[in-house]
Amino acid sequence: MNYASDPIWWHLKKTIVRDLASLLTAPSPWISSAELPVSILLGNEGFRFLLSLDEQPDNLYLFLKQHGGYQTHLGVYAERLLYYWFLHAPHSRLIAHNLPVQDNQRTVGAFDFIVQLNDQIFHLELTCKYYGSQSDKAESFIGLSKADRLMDKMHKIKQQLALSIQPAAESTLKDLMLEPGMLQHASIIRGMLFTPSANQHFQAPLHPLCWQGRYIENWAEFEFQEHHRFYVLDHLSFLSPVRVSSNAIVNFNQIKQIRQGMIALVQQHADGYWHEVERIMKTDQHS
């Protein structure tokens, strides 16, 4: 699936709002039995709220600046965006954020979010991951760092979701006037999977409708055309499809010098901006 072609991107222009929208609506890279449905996360008025934020994003900019959202770690940026959402979305009541759980003065974990959405209370865990592979086998997918493996993260988030039922969490929840049985635990898994075809028919546990990109180990594998233009993504640009001005784009001769990283293939639209049509993960097999 090419999530970059979703109609939502026709309406949203500001990068931070597009990033927030991606956290709310993008498909997960792998199947989680506990994945929070988009309809619950977005809510009935969620899209209207996103449109209003796109028109007046100053409060969101200020919130991210005040809460360290522009750090170089993508996970921190994504978490702060959802933090804002849960504080301000019409159907949401934030109960706790980044709440540590201790056992005999030893921290055994932390709740990413405890939040009430409509009439349900959730323990939510967020992760944003980008994995590539030459094959379609779940065990072969790794990140730009070879130590970052999809299967490891899949198991890790299951452990994180079990935090609310650990005995050590009981007193932490009691301080919030909650009991473990009152919470539903759910994941918010975002990111992409990259394969040489960029259009793989995945089988479980990989998500068949996930956002896909092209995996390249050598630039000679890329079928370059003279009109192609690109945008080189930094670590905080991964979340949503790229929309950039002309002064940010580069040509193939410039990107083929990149040994490892994430690049968007872009096309110019009627609004004058260059929009992502495909994303590439380039890895260096010698690193």
| Total domains present in the chain | 1
Q: Is residue 54 part of a domain?
A: yes
pLDDT in tens, 89-135: 999 999 999 999 988 778 788 999 999 999 999 999 999 999 999 99
Cβ within 8 Å of residue 116, ≥6 positions away = 92, 93, 95, 122
Q: Is residue 244 part of a domain?
A: no
Q: Is the pLDDT of residue 287 over 80?
A: no
The answer to whether 128 and 78 are in contact (CB under 8 A) is: yes
Closest alpha carbon to 183 in 104, 243, 97, 122: 122
Over residues 43-62, the mean pLDDT reads 96
Q: Is the pLDDT of residue 286 over 70?
A: no
Q: Is residue 26 part of a domain?
A: yes
Q: Is residue 225 part of a domain?
A: no
Q: Is residue 177 part of a domain?
A: yes
Over residues 254-262, the mean pLDDT reads 93
- pLDDT given for residue 106 in this prediction: 81
Domain residues for the domain of 105 are: 3-198
Q: Report how far apart, in Å, the C-alpha atoms of 213 and of each of 135, 154, 219 are.
A: 13, 20, 15
Q: Is residue 219 part of a domain?
A: no
Mean pLDDT over each residue of the chain, to the nearest integer: 93
The model carries a pTM of 0.95
Per-residue HEC secondary structure of the chain comes to: CCHHHCHHHHCCCCHHHHHHHHHHHCCCCECCCCECCHHHHHCCCHHHHHHHHHHCCHHHHHHHHHCCCCCCCHHHHHHHHHHHHHHHCCCEEEEEEEEEEEECCEEEEEEEEEEEECCEEEEEEEEEEEEECCCCCHHHCECCCCCCEHHHHHHHHHHHHHHHHCCCHHHHHHCCCCCHHHCEEEEEEEEEEEECCCCCCCCCCECCCCCEEEEECCHHHCCCCCCCEEEEECHHHCCCCCEECHHHCECHHHHCCCCCEEEEEEEECCCCCEEEEEEEEECCCCC
Share of the chain above pLDDT 70, in %: 99
Q: Is residue 75 part of a domain?
A: yes
pLDDT in tens, 137-152: 999 999 999 899 999 9
Top-confidence residue, 269 or 284: 269
- pLDDT given for residue 104 in this prediction: 78
Cβ within 8 Å of residue 263, ≥6 positions away = 230, 231, 232, 233, 255, 279, 280, 282
How far apart, in Å, do the first and last CA atoms of the chain sit? Answer: 30
- pLDDT given for residue 133 in this prediction: 95
Q: Is the pLDDT of residue 85 over 70?
A: yes
- Tokens of residue 116, six digits: 């009430």
Share of the chain above pLDDT 90, in %: 78
- pLDDT given for residue 72 in this prediction: 77
Over residues 11-17, the mean pLDDT reads 96
Over residues 177-202, the mean pLDDT reads 92
- pLDDT given for residue 109 in this prediction: 86
pLDDT in tens, 163-172: 888 888 888 8
Q: Is residue 178 part of a domain?
A: yes
Q: How confident is the model at residue 179 (pLDDT cuts 50, 70, 90)?
A: confident
